[in-house]
Amino acid sequence: MALNNLDLDALEIFRAVAVEGGVTKAALQLNRVQSNISTRIMQLEERLNVTLFNRVNRRLELTTEGQLLLVYADQLLQLAEDTEAAFKGGVVQGLFRLGSMESTAAARLPELLSLYHAQHPKVQLDLITDTTSNLVEQIQNYEIEAAFVGAPITSDEFESMEAHQEKLLLITARGKGFTCPKDALNENLITFRSGCAYRRVFENWLASEGARTRNCMEMSSYHALAACVAAGTGIAIIPESVLDVLLIGPSIQRFELPKEFATVKTLLIWRKGYQSSKLDGIKTLVTSLAIRHQAEIA
């Protein structure tokens, strides 16, 4: 099969349809008419003599052959971007879609992203915040290139590096008068939605204490979570770095958790085999900031 017929434009169209799940959204993203998108996909399927998509509930889903092509398309399009950058004075450019847990985005990423923008001003960086499980799924679906997530990540589909460690604290309203974490076991729970790495730690700690995991209030931001705790609505687990950023004041009481639940690693993960100069820039900054942080502690 001659690769010269597999032009990058066709692969970009194919990737957009795969990521967006349909022709209409892909056409909007690429600023093309839908008929052109459909025609190019049909031509690509004829060229490869395979079916790339199945229609499921009004959405286009990749076939096994389509999933394989998406892997190659992603690599070829990235290589094209890097090649162009190499002949433009090595300037890193293009779109980089980075995912992050809400906590990391609030407390850890402002400095990293500021440094990244200063070093790579031509990169358009889109930051998507979500739970760990949703971010993992988005990387698998090629919706984002990399993400900061909570450990552990056990799948061999990913490569990873440790970004930092978070110290988790149990927080309660100060007016409750609790003297230790066990005093708060019968309180209502305030958490992020299912899939949050810290919610999993919260539930595991409760189970270790023999407490029943109850229905809980789910929040989408740490500001709302801390405010509900301060108002006496319930208890929550939160990274110390985030609590320091929130500056919630004396209305919150902090408690240390048992050692086995107190520390959670944050990982930067990406698809196995994925390489790009944009990702390399993030990885370099993660390493340098970690070294600096260790030096400050010492």
Write the DSSP string, 94-161: EEEEEEE-HHHHHHTHHHHHHHHHHH-TTEEEEEEE--HHHHHHHHHTTS-SEEEEESP---TTEEEE
Could you give the maximum distance between any two Cα atoms of the chain, in Å? 74
Domains, the chain, with CATH or none: 3-86 (1.10.10.10), 94-163+271-297 (3.40.190.10), 165-263 (3.40.190.10)
Number of residues that this document lists for the chain: 298
Give residue-wise pLDDT tens across range 23-45. 999 999 889 999 999 999 999 99
Mean pLDDT in the chain?
88
pLDDT tens digits for range 113-160: 999 999 999 888 999 999 999 999 999 888 899 999 999 999 999 999
Q: Is the pLDDT assigned to residue 162 strictly greater than 60? A: yes
DSSP letter, residue 54: E
Residue 287: CB atoms within 10 Å:
14
Mean pLDDT of 33-62: 90
235 secondary structure, DSSP code: B
Hey, what are 214's tokens?
């109850």
CA dist., res. 135 & res. 102, Å (int) = 11
**From residue 286, how far is each of 111, 160, 280, 293 by CA, in Å?**
11, 12, 10, 11
Dihedral, CA atoms, 244, 248, 254, 260, nearest 10 degrees? Answer: -50
Residue closest to 148 by CA, chosen among 187, 189, 97, 183:
97
The CA–CA distances, whole Å, from 49 to 35, 46, 201 equal 21, 5, 48
**Which residue from 222, 232, 216, 249 is spatially nearest to 177, judged by alpha carbons?**
232
